Amino acid sequence: MYKTLFTCLMVYLCGICFGQNSDNKAAVIASIEAQSDDLIKISDEIWALAETAFEETGSAELLAAYAEKNGFRVERGVAEMPTGFTAEFGEGHPIIGILGEFDALPGLSQDVNPEKTPIEEGGAGHGCGHNLFGAGSLGAAVAIKELIAAGKLKGTIRFYGTPAEEKYFGKLFMARAGMFDDLDVCLDWHPSSRIEADVQSSLALVDFVVEFRGQAAHAAGDPWNGRSASDAMELMSAGINAYREHIKPTVRIHTHMQQAGDVVNVVPDYARMWVRVRDRDREGMMPVWERVQEIARGAAIMANVDYEITLVSGLHEVLPNRTGGAAMHANLEFLGPIKYNEAEAAFGRGIQRATGKPLVGIDGSVQPFKETAENPSGGSTDVGDVSWLVPEIRLRVTTAPKDTPWHSWAVVACGGMSIGHKGMVYAAKALSMTMVDLYENPELVKEIQAEFKERRGDSEYKAILPEGPPPIEGN
């Protein structure tokens, strides 16, 4: 069904790109070009701030202030998150949302250099390109706002400033607060090493912390009086490793031993492990999560200690939308490839040399519209939760050379210079062009929503999230 729908849409949408609606698309492209210096400046300032989860005070304000400057109604501190905000313009339906992230990752500080060169040892850096993500999305929203203000489009554009994607998943708290419930369609993009309409799913996950509490004692003088919390943690780790043989290939289990005593001559009475379980969907993930909890209980019994499991949060897998993806792909085909100069190409090869990858350079071509894989590769995202509430149109755009290790210093380096800037500006154009399609073509919105309802079926969304406010200092 979706193959036939895609063929029809491609003929229809390519006609739109070159036909009667080209004036509005030309206008948003011109708007992005006019904004490009501002967007690059904002992106670079966020890159330099490199603020991590729920600490993005300066980054969020840069984006919110730019939205206000451009006439948006801005609401700060949404969903009990000081760095979360929305920026809205227009009235009535369709209400089109666009997501923007801006948090950095710890420990990835890096200068604009194709060799590993930290600006601050141990400092944070934008190893996932979120400095580009938020600025590019907001630029697209401003381009649409200008057309609404001029009477060329009717409806509402809403930008979501979404914090803490890398650690605490800020969109979950927005979802719980009902902030996506009135949207007709939502869009997002992500920095990448390729350009494509993203119609793939992601991995569902659950995050939890296991704490073991025993009895301290002198490790040499009277260890028989001690009950070792670290023994329990080691036993749990061994249990998980034995379990790996008996799980499906799509499952991933990650562990981080966060604390296991302070000195070698004391039997430790406290240990803590952070555990993450992933699978292709929630249905596969949930029994693995339950089994790992049983492994924790068994480890506590063997070490004769107490244990406590605390849910941090969890993510749904992305619900793809091929109808929306086809609309995006048509606009990518119209825009064509990103072109790079020799200095950028040399920088890209330098990144590949430093990370041990083939020196194949930067791929700025538009990838073919792919089939949706049964088993997704890659990671997880809180965009998945949004995609279960509203149809989500997704985009990837090249901001780093091919095969660049993501969540690494190499992505930070590219995101602070013209390779990243070009990708951000390109993404803003593609996003705004696709939004023009949505505002101008109610039937396209209906088709996107129909696919969304079919894929979601009878499932009801429920966030995998503990009760209470976001885990921000002071809460």
SS (H, E, C) the chain: CHHHHHHHHHHHHHHHHHCCCHHHHHHHHHHHHHHHHHHHHHHHHHHHHCCCCCCCHHHHHHHHHHHHHCCCEEEECHHHCCCCEEEEEECCCCEEEEEEECCCECCCCCCCCCCCCCCCCCCCECCCCHHHHHHHHHHHHHHHHHHHHCCCCCCEEEEEEECCCCCCCHHHHHHHCCCCCCCCEEEEEEEECCEEEECCCCCEEEEEEEEEECECEECCCCHHHCECHHHHHHHHHHHHHHHHHHCCCCCEEEEEEEEECCCCCEECCEEEEEEEEEECCHHHHHHHHHHHHHHHHHHHHHHCCEEEEEEEEEECCCCCCHHHHHHHHHHHHHHCCCCCCHHHHHHHHHHHHHCCCCCCCCCCCECCCCCCCCCCCCCCCCHHHHHCCCCEEEEEEECCCCCCCCCCHHHHHHHCCHHHHHHHHHHHHHHHHHHHHHHHCHHHHHHHHHHHHHHHCCCCCCCCCCCCCCCCCCC
pLDDT, tens digit (0-9, with 9 covering 90-100), for 245-275: 999 999 999 999 999 999 999 999 999 999 9
Query: Is residue 34 predicted with pLDDT exceeding 90?
Result: yes
Q: Looking at residues 58-81, what average pLDDT do you find?
A: 98
Residues 190 and 63 in one domain: yes
Q: Establish if 120 belongs to a structural domain.
A: yes
Give, rounded to a whole angstrom, the gap between the first and last alpha carbons of the chain: 49
Q: Establish if 433 belongs to a structural domain.
A: yes
Q: Establish if 471 belongs to a structural domain.
A: no
Query: Is residue 12 predicted with pLDDT exceeding 60?
Result: no
Residues 96 and 183 in one domain: yes
Query: Is residue 74 predicted with pLDDT exceeding 60?
Result: yes
What is Dmax (Cα atoms) for the chain? 86
Residues 182 and 154 in one domain: yes
* Whole-angstrom distance, CA of residue 31 vs CA of residue 265: 66
pLDDT at 11: 44
* Whole-angstrom distance, CA of residue 409 vs CA of residue 411: 6
Residues 271 and 379 in one domain: no
Residues 310 and 387 in one domain: no
Query: Is residue 15 predicted with pLDDT exceeding 80?
Result: no
Residues 304 and 405 in one domain: no
Q: Looking at residues 178-204, what average pLDDT do you find?
A: 97
Average pLDDT across the chain, whole number: 95
* Whole-angstrom distance, CA of residue 267 vs CA of residue 283: 40
Strands 266-267 and 306-315 turn out to be unpaired
The model's confidence at residue 198, banded by pLDDT at 50, 70 and 90, is very high
CATH classification at residue 185: 3.40.630.10
Q: Which residues pair with 206 in a beta bridge?
A: 277, 314
Q: Establish if 167 belongs to a structural domain.
A: yes
Residues 230 and 299 in one domain: yes
Residues 436 and 369 in one domain: yes
From 268, 300, 315, give the residue that closes a domain.
Answer: 315
For the record, the structure tokens of 438 come out as 């949505």
Q: Looking at residues 148-166, what average pLDDT do you find?
A: 98
Q: How far is CA 8 from CA 5, 17, 443, in A?
A: 5, 14, 13
Of residues 475 and 172, more confidently modeled: 172
pLDDT at 22: 81
Q: Provide φ and ψ at 370, rounded to 5°.
A: -85, 160
Q: Which of 425, 420, 427, 340 lies closest to 44, judged by CA?
A: 420
For residue 79, the enclosing domain spans 2-201+317-456
Q: Looking at residues 124-139, what average pLDDT do you find?
A: 98
Q: Which amino acid is at 170?
A: G
Buried/exposed 328-366: b ≥16 CB within 10 Å, e otherwise: bbbbbebbeebebeeebeebbbbbbebbebeeebbbbeb
CATH classification at residue 222: 3.30.70.360
Residues 277 and 191 in one domain: no
Residues 255 and 336 in one domain: no
Q: Establish if 465 belongs to a structural domain.
A: no
pLDDT, tens digit (0-9, with 9 covering 90-100), for 220-230: 999 999 999 99
pLDDT, tens digit (0-9, with 9 covering 90-100), for 310-363: 999 999 999 999 999 999 999 999 999 999 999 999 999 999 999 999 999 999
Q: Establish if 280 belongs to a structural domain.
A: yes
* Whole-angstrom distance, CA of residue 340 vs CA of residue 346: 10
The model's confidence at residue 377, banded by pLDDT at 50, 70 and 90, is confident
Could you give the number of structural domains in the chain? 2
The model's confidence at residue 21, banded by pLDDT at 50, 70 and 90, is low
The pTM of the whole model exceeds 0.85: yes
Contact in structure between 381 and 80 (CB atoms under 8 Å): no
Contact in structure between 163 and 84 (CB atoms under 8 Å): yes
Contact in structure between 199 and 396 (CB atoms under 8 Å): no
Residues 191 and 242 in one domain: no
* Whole-angstrom distance, CA of residue 475 vs CA of residue 473: 6
Q: Establish if 468 belongs to a structural domain.
A: no
The model's confidence at residue 205, banded by pLDDT at 50, 70 and 90, is very high
Q: How many residues does the chain have?
A: 475
From 271, 300, 315, give the residue that closes a domain.
Answer: 315
Residues 334 and 452 in one domain: yes
Q: Establish if 474 belongs to a structural domain.
A: no
